[in-house]
Amino acid sequence: MSGSKMSAEIHEQPEVLERILDEGWDEVLSASRVLRQGDLRSVMIAARGTSDNAALYAKYPFEVLLGVPTALASPSAFTFYESTMNLEGVLVVGISQSGESQDVLETIRRSGELGANTLTVTNDESSAMAKVGQHHFFLRAGKEESVAATKTYTAELMMLYLLACALKGEERLGHDVRRLPELSREVLEAEWEGTERYRYAEYMVVTSRGYNLATAEEAALKLMETTYVVAQAFSAADLRHGPIAMIGHDFPVLVIASPGRAQPGMRSLVDNLRDRGAELVVVSDESTMLDKASAKFPVPGSLPEELAPILCAIPIELLAENLARLKGLNPDSPRGLSKVTETW
């Protein structure tokens, strides 16, 4: 482990996940019992930055496991354009590590006025957002000092997954979700192979599909903010619909391909990218894809697809921190960024 705060916080994630399971589940159950009494016709989630990628993840358990249409909010609809949309029967969720994102805060406040049920997820119980929603979930991640969010991201994923389970009517934590702290420790004991060759990389495409599309977006964000690599995330399906034309010999592509329904298509995409001469960076449980990569990180293959993004986030955080140091950069203090970014 390096001496960066980012690395230290990455390695705190098993304990954070344990705290959420031990202390946060009752909080989620209590709120969901109230929310289930009403007519939940849709969910809208407001967030920025890393939290926006957690929101993208939440679309999948809410729509697939819970069967409720879910959208990502446009905060400017409330702040710039003063929308008066009908939000009866809508659960509006605001996610913010600091709890001080002003446009997300205003989205929650206005949504409550427009008839929505409101819920906030933050890492600060005394924050403005913790007080504005009808319900609040505390991430219990401890202070996060590195500008690049790591442990709060996986904490958000865990909370949002638990919320979907509780809204579905589950009253007890399942065996698979209880294994996450242990499996995250296993992931942290593994290491990247072959990343040194990317210390001079200036651009990279990141791709996945389904539940891990959020992981691809988060990987691109982490690479941009800590290593200054120009990184663009694509759904594997969207990548095939045109952008793949730019990928040729030695073009670096980060592929996230954990088990589940999306994996066969990811396997086919890896073969296609290899035929094009791409430099493959692969996070997967499957040896056939890992063996085709110039850099690789193995992840456990024993979890349901909906929980895999919590584990797959860890390798991409480690990659960003590692590449930043290889490039001679400080991953804790990206240029021009601060821990709390205020937008309106």
134-163 confidence digits (pLDDT tens): 999 999 999 999 999 999 999 999 999 999
Residue 343: inside a domain: no
Is residue 339, in this structure, part of any structural domain at all? no
Q: What is the DSSP string of 266-331?
A: HHHHHHHHHHTT-EEEEEES-HHHHTT-SEEEE----S-TTTHHHHHHHHHHHHHHHHHHHTT--T
Cα distance between residue 202 and residue 173, in whole Å:
43
Is residue 163 assigned to a domain?
yes
Q: Could you tell me if residue 340 is inside a domain? A: no
DSSP state letter for 24: I
Domain shared by 17 and 71, yes or no: yes
> Is the same domain home to 283 and 156?
no
User: 23 with 143, same domain?
Assistant: yes
CB atoms within 10 A of CB 88: 11
The 203-208 sheet, strands edge to edge: 230-235, 203-208, 252-257, 279-284, 295-298
Could you tell me the mean pLDDT of each successive run of 10 residues in the chain, 344 residues long?
A: 85 98 97 94 96 98 97 92 93 96 95 97 96 97 94 98 97 96 97 94 96 98 96 96 93 96 95 96 96 96 95 98 95 72 56
* Any domain includes 184: no
Whether residue 214 sits in one domain with residue 113: no
Q: What is the pTM of this model?
A: 0.95
Q: What is the pLDDT of residue 333?
A: 85
Residues 21 and 151 in one domain: yes
In a domain, 334, yes or no: no
Return the C-alpha torsion angle 49, 55, 56, 62, nearest 10. 180
Q: Considering the domain boundaries, does residue 271 fall inside one?
A: yes
Domain count, the chain: 2
Domain that residue 261 falls in: 189-326
Residues 154 and 247 in one domain: no
Whether 181 is in a domain gets the answer: no
Structure confidence at residue 1 (pLDDT): 42
- Residue 52 CA to its chain's centroid (Å): 8
Considering the domain architecture, whether residues 244 and 292 belong to the same structural domain is answered as: yes
How far is the C-alpha of 145 from the C-alpha of 42, rounded, in Å? 35
Mark whether 194 and 289 lie in a shared domain: yes
Provide the token pair at 231: 């990184």
- Same-domain pairing of 89 and 236: no
CATH classification at residue 43: 3.40.50.10490
